[in-house]
Structure 1
Amino acid sequence: MPKTPSSWRATGKGRNSKKRRAVTASASREASIATDIMAGKSSHPIHIHPVRPLYRFTATALGASMWFFLMYRAKKDGAVLMGWKHPWDH
């Protein structure tokens, strides 16, 4: 394989430079299409609206209360659940 000067690689001259430029151009085109879709310029028939803050807060509060309750019950009944203690032993 013949050696190519490092200046050729820096300027884009060489054996595969056209192929590399074509791949780079198609990748940038795909990236711009993906950006347009994410930015809301899509013609897709389904549009998902943003969630209202009240619903986000309610979901977070309910999820937190569920985990607090689970940890409370694990503190009280965890040994029985894991089989380390019998429920009839007080």
Structure 2
Amino acid sequence: MAGAAGHNVGDAITYGGLTLRPTKGWHAKVGKGMCAVMWFWIFYRAKQDGDVLLGLRHPWEDGHGHGHPDP
């Protein structure tokens, strides 16, 4: 067994049978980059149709046609 619960094993921490090891540098950088992309996407979509999501406007109130001319 790697170590008792709650004790450090080298750089790893074992607690309750789960051993957590420190991340590699590039894992942390890629994770932060993906997090930034996620938040940029959320803010972009909120800008585009946040009022529909919040119930302030119905999506069919745009006045856009679907390529069909008005009679």
TM-score, scaled relative to structure 1: 0.48
Which gives a bigger RCO, structure 1 or 2 (Cα 8 Å, sep 6+)?
2
**Higher-helix-fraction structure:** 1
2:67 aligns with: none
1:56 aligns with: 28
Larger Rg: 1
Secondary structure class of the residue paired with 2:23: coil
Separation in 2, partners of 1:76, 1:66: 15
Give the counterpart of 2:49 among 77, 80, 89: 77
Q: Structure 1 residues 89 and 46, CA, compared in 2 at 3 Å: closer, same or farther? A: closer
Across the aligned residues of Structure 1 and Structure 2, the Cα RMSD in angstroms comes to 2.3
User: 1:56 deviation in Å?
Assistant: 0.1
2:3 aligns with: none
2:37 aligns with: 65
The unaligned stretches of length 5 or more in structure 1 are: 1-36
The unaligned stretches of length 5 or more in structure 2 are: 1-6, 63-71
Percent same amino acid among aligned pairs?
36
Q: Residues 1-90 of structure 1 correspond to what in structure 2 (within 5 A)? A: 47-90=19-62
Runs of 4 or more above 2 Å deviation: 44-49
